Structure 1
């Protein structure tokens, strides 16, 4: 797939609610379907869904009871790279992957993110935190 864009950035604000992850997925799919390969898009959507879900479950909202989702696509000679960033009001603990047993119902989100991303991390400031991931 040829990519006509060298770098492009988007962002959206979604509710700090379970529906926020669904809205983020739909927005990503609409904006990136013609920009990046389908397999990369599926991974990006999975990562954003996990990060927004974690923000809703484990962190406070930004002012306005929202979560900000941003993404940047860069065209490289070796292919596209997508960076996603989910910003919330912060949590008492820094997000980190957990080790869970096979019978646990949840707790695998950041392990999934780590498996799909080239790298990921957390940035914190006085206003909240952003969890980001880079995929290619």
Structure 2
């Protein structure tokens, strides 16, 4: 697991690379919990960790890894122009044939609920594609 941390005034950010397999999800959850405990409410931290686990699991299941067989997780605490505090989490992978999309999942479906969970727990979410890969991000309001 490779990690980078930056602080710049009202912005605190962290980035780490984890293996493109289930052990990477576990390592990321632990690190995220260690880093954010005390910085955000415990109830919100549970939501954030759930969303990150979902995004990482989706990347493992549906996308290629970045070079080196990893997925990048980053997060940043920042203030908006209106002085609200926001936490953004971002998972970057090597991309897939199709982009992430919410799918309908019936009561008997065994999968297909992941992005619905993300949408329900986060203030907003979206995707970006650039030269380094494909990212799915989610934002949380810190009251």
Query: Is the pair's TM-score, using the shorter chain for normalization, greater than 0.5?
Result: yes
Deviation at 1:81, TM superposition (A): 1.6
Structure 2 distance, partners of 1:64, 1:49, is 20
- 8 Å CA contact 1:90–1:127 kept in 2: the answer is no
Residue 38 of structure 2 aligns with which residue? 34
Structure 2 distance, partners of 1:93, 1:74, is 31
- 8 Å CA contact 1:51–1:131 kept in 2: the answer is yes
Residue 47 of structure 1 aligns with which residue? 51
1:59 paired with 2:93, answer: no
User: 5+ unaligned residues in a row in structure 1: which ranges?
Assistant: none
Structure 2 distance, partners of 1:40, 1:65, is 30
- 8 Å CA contact 1:14–1:67 kept in 2: the answer is yes
| 3-state SS in 2 of match to 1:123 | strand
| 3-state SS in 1 of match to 2:87 | strand
Structure 2 distance, partners of 1:40, 1:121, is 19
1:114 paired with 2:140, answer: no
The root-mean-square deviation of aligned C-alpha atoms, in Å, is: 1.6
Structure 1 distance, partners of 2:130, 2:85, is 29
Structure 1 distance, partners of 2:11, 2:40, is 12
Structure 1 residues 74-97: Cα deviation after superposition (integer angstroms, max 9, x where no partner)? 256876421000000001111011
Structure 2 distance, partners of 1:106, 1:85, is 22
In the superposition, the TM-score normalised over structure 2's length comes to 0.86
- 8 Å CA contact 1:60–1:89 kept in 2: the answer is yes
- 8 Å CA contact 1:24–1:69 kept in 2: the answer is yes
| 3-state SS in 2 of match to 1:107 | coil
Residue 23 of structure 2 aligns with which residue? 19
In the superposition, the TM-score normalised over structure 1's length comes to 0.91
Runs of 4+ off more than 3 Å: 75-80
